[in-house]
Amino acid sequence: MGHAKVVVRYANGRVIKGFTQNFSPSKDRFHLFSVNKLSREAIEVFLKELKAVFLVRDFAGNPKRIEQKKYVEGEKPLGRKVEVTFMDGERIVGSTLSYDRSRSGFFIFPADPKSNNISVFIVPSAVRKIRQLS
């Protein structure tokens, strides 16, 4: 992964925006260079402490935009269509190629093609429920 623009959301609600070069779902941690820190030192981020890692187009996004929470009829994304509800009540609808609750996490690709999120790596311990959509 090159210089990925990410928003890291911790299970406790903490949010850090920054860049990472070494995120991997097969590792238990990665390094993040925060956009809010003047220091050039990386923050060590542990997956077990997270809710999700959002790979984003833009750090600001559009807070007024309402995310599309369903697929257009007939749309056939790669993988399984799912609705993920987090412990904090947030919902994400998208498709996944590799959901397995026993792994460190899984990627979801949002149903909304205009989403600021390109993909989201979800940590299973932060999930209340996952529902497969038809």
- Residue 67 is assigned to a structural domain of this protein: no
> What range defines the domain where residue 109 resides?
80-132
Residue 75 maps to a domain: no
For residue 89, is it within any domain?
yes
The H or E element spanning position 89 is: none
| Domain membership flag for residue 13 | yes
> Please, are residues 75 and 93 in contact by the beta-carbon 8 Å criterion?
no
Together in a domain, 46 and 85: no
The pTM (predicted TM-score) of the whole model is: 0.91
Token match 């749309």: residue? 75
- One-character DSSP codes across 35-75: SS-SS-PPEEEEGGGEEEEEEES-SS--TTPPPP-SPPTT-
47 within some domain: yes
Asked if residue 8 is part of any domain, the answer here is yes
pLDDT at 1 over 60: no
Q: Which residue did the predictor score with more confidence, 130 or 38?
A: 130
Residues 86, 47 share a domain: no
**124 SS3 class:** helix
